[in-house]
A and B are shown apart, each in its own frame.
Chain A
């Protein structure tokens, strides 16, 4: 008999396959000059999807910059994700009716989002919300003070915070072994007095189980958890990087043997929850969905130049009026040639 759990796994697989296709197309858009520098999530599909499935609408999500799957599941349309990476801040204006309405935007500076996530968790606790905050980061982020400062306060204040590390073994070119002498990144939780858990980042089922437990623990007021999800970055760091300069082809080849999308597909097929026909149908659906998103993205009207000043303060200060007038004149020229 098919269970809710099975439905969740199938839904998870569909998202992972969709995001895999989206990611490939996003890289292509960058290569053809239609997207800015893009951080691929190749190899992180299970982590991002599990996070999106485990979070509720009342929870808060604090991303780093590879969380396209999670933001998509939070209700951010794919074309808006492209809009962000296409150099337009409107991509961070997540829909007001979505689960992402209060989520923090993509965070480019490393680990700085983690202390902010602790602040959001403090606010949720102060207001007695039944909510958890999930913040993500990479393995390199665990070397920054922000990471430890956030875990430390989450421990001492018993905050409803879950920090999920995507340990994809690389911080641009520096391997995990050069980041820390700790046996595991999860060990770093010990310094904050909170539980630290390692989980296979290529295993959607395991990720969901660990995240469900940690998030429910946080919502119940029992405090913070650090989760280290072990994965492998199958892409370059970003489209501006060339990993062949520092990563052995044989290591990459080995990592592909354990990649999360095919692995879940095989598992679902063995359980009778997926088959070749469904796969063909879904891949066609993915292509249509991503093509539509790209089409929408490429046809978005350009932002007015005045946007760069209009959202800086709640109201435009008098001191900036002249500068705004200069930009408004630029907009006039753009409109009227």
Chain B
């Protein structure tokens, strides 16, 4: 379990997008083998500006505008990583990552294993994910469970500028392939303190954002924002919720989750993706298996509905909001 670090003499306020940009710049400055590739990431600095200024700073050889082909981007990154570069590839939106799935699943995640360690694949694939910004169709998906199901991958989803910064630094240094999903709804939400020269954060632990004894709220990525809001509402009614940001979905830090729920006896899992076959199901199964005798209520899940991410007019009804989370929390407390 890692505690969140927010205050330091060196901390400067930045939003999540700026934190991603600063982490990329620092990783490139510290390690010549780090290269960036993707669509529109060079002169344009990425459609969200995550790579703003990096081509100017590090040159076109290390910040590569690729042809428009996601499968190519992933394949290039696998080839580069197999020979010791550390490619950080950007897929412009998670809704377009599926063309790259074969490279990720059949090659990136397996290369070390199928060569028995002769080759490895230390790549990072970044993609903005999730809804809430009134984007076009296919621009708001949250399909992290597809990737969390793939052995050999690490799947990381930050929920604050500080965790985006520290986890991205760790992902780039990591010798394993990492899928790094950025909550685009939080990109410019607010500026929070980030320690620009701070240590990378661990990739194998949950982050306990708030402690409490009455129940455990478990979430990750953008939904952490509503989950913390729900915890505030509950606190106003005298209910103390523990809030855990899972942050790294694979490999999963089951110990922190089991320890918390064993203490509180109640759990509500919140995620934006559809509930069916989602990561919430994996966590609920873990709690049923390892914390059964401590549970005082059924584990609740507050998730997206089991439908494609709706186009933006219906989006507010789809995304888990504070009211749904609070209601689920009260159901577990009233059980």
Residue among A109, A114, A120, A313 making CB contact with B83, cutoff 8 Å: A120
Closest A residue to B89 by CB, please name it: A119
Q: Would you call B85 and A123 a contact (CB within 8 A)?
A: yes
- With A93-B116, A312-B152 in contact, is A115–B75 under 8 Å at CB? yes
| Chain A residues near B67 (CB-CB < 8 A) | 149, 152-153, 156
Closest A residue to B175 by CB, please name it: A314
Q: Which of B106-114, B187-195, B323-331 contacts A (4 or more CB under 8 A)?
A: B106-114
B254 is an interface residue with CB less than 8 A from chain A = yes
Most B CB within 10 A of own CB, among A123, A146, A318, A320: A123
Q: Would you call A311 and B113 a contact (CB within 8 A)?
A: yes
Closest A residue to B118 by CB, please name it: A93
A142 is an interface residue with CB less than 8 A from chain B = no
Residue among A119, A126, A149, A319 making CB contact with B78, cutoff 8 Å: A119
Q: Would you call A318 and B251 a contact (CB within 8 A)?
A: yes
A116 is an interface residue with CB less than 8 A from chain B = yes
Residue among A105, A149, A318, A320 making CB contact with B71, cutoff 8 Å: A149
| Chain B residues near A104 (CB-CB < 8 A) | 79, 82, 119
- With A112-B107, A319-B252, A319-B254 in contact, is A119–B114 under 8 Å at CB? no
Closest B residue to A106 by CB, please name it: B114
A94 is an interface residue with CB less than 8 A from chain B = yes
Q: Would you call A116 and B85 a contact (CB within 8 A)?
A: no
Q: Would you call A150 and B75 a contact (CB within 8 A)?
A: yes
A307 to B115, CA, bound (A): 11
A62 to B255, CA, bound (A): 42
Q: Which residues of chain A from 103 to 148 have any CB-CB distance to chain B below 8 Å in the complex?
A: 104-105, 109, 112, 114-124, 126, 145-146
A90 is an interface residue with CB less than 8 A from chain B = yes
- With A120-B83, A122-B79, A319-B252 in contact, is A90–B116 under 8 Å at CB? yes
B204 is an interface residue with CB less than 8 A from chain A = yes
A20 smallest CB distance to B (angstroms): 28
Encoded as 1 (CB less than 8 Å from any A CB) or 0, chain B from 231 to 272 comes to 000000000000000000001111100000000000000000
Q: Is the interface of A mostly helix, strand, loop or mixed?
A: helix
Residue among A62, A94, A118 making CB contact with B76, cutoff 8 Å: A118
A149 to B71, CA, bound (A): 8
Q: Would you call A313 and B152 a contact (CB within 8 A)?
A: yes
B308 is an interface residue with CB less than 8 A from chain A = no
A107 to B44, CA, bound (A): 36
A157 to B251, CA, bound (A): 36
Encoded as 1 (CB less than 8 Å from any B CB) or 0, chain A from 308 to 337 comes to 100111100111100000000000000000
Encoded as 1 (CB less than 8 Å from any A CB) or 0, chain B from 58 to 97 comes to 0001101011010110111111111111010000000000
A120 to B80, CA, bound (A): 5
A89 is an interface residue with CB less than 8 A from chain B = yes
A34 is an interface residue with CB less than 8 A from chain B = no
Q: Would you call B61 and A119 a contact (CB within 8 A)?
A: no
Q: Would you call A89 and B75 a contact (CB within 8 A)?
A: no
B66 smallest CB distance to A (angstroms): 7
B176 is an interface residue with CB less than 8 A from chain A = yes
Closest B residue to A145 by CB, please name it: B71
A238 is an interface residue with CB less than 8 A from chain B = no
A179 is an interface residue with CB less than 8 A from chain B = no
| Chain A residues near B81 (CB-CB < 8 A) | 119
A306 is an interface residue with CB less than 8 A from chain B = no
Most B CB within 10 A of own CB, among A109, A112, A313, A317: A313
Q: Would you call A105 and B115 a contact (CB within 8 A)?
A: yes
A198 is an interface residue with CB less than 8 A from chain B = no
Encoded as 1 (CB less than 8 Å from any A CB) or 0, chain B from 107 to 150 comes to 10001111111111000000000000000000000000000000
3 closest A-B pairs by CB: A119-B79, A115-B75, A317-B251
B: residues with CB less than 8 A from A are 35, 61-62, 64, 66-67, 69, 71-72, 74-85, 87, 102-103, 106-107, 111-120, 151-152, 154, 174-176, 204, 251-255
Known: A105-B114, A121-B79, A145-B69. 15 other contacts (CB 8 A): A60-B83, A89-B113, A92-B116, A102-B119, A105-B111, A115-B71, A115-B76, A115-B79, A118-B79, A126-B61, A146-B71, A146-B72, A149-B71, A311-B117, A318-B255
Complex A-B: 28 CB contacts under 8 Å = A62-B79, A89-B113, A93-B117, A96-B118, A102-B83, A102-B119, A105-B119, A112-B103, A112-B106, A112-B107, A115-B72, A116-B75, A119-B75, A122-B79, A122-B80, A123-B79, A123-B84, A146-B75, A152-B69, A308-B113, A311-B113, A311-B115, A312-B113, A313-B154, A313-B176, A314-B176, A317-B204, A318-B251
A: residues with CB less than 8 A from B are 60, 62, 89-90, 92-94, 96, 101-102, 104-105, 109, 112, 114-124, 126, 145-146, 149-150, 152-153, 156, 307-308, 311-314, 317-320
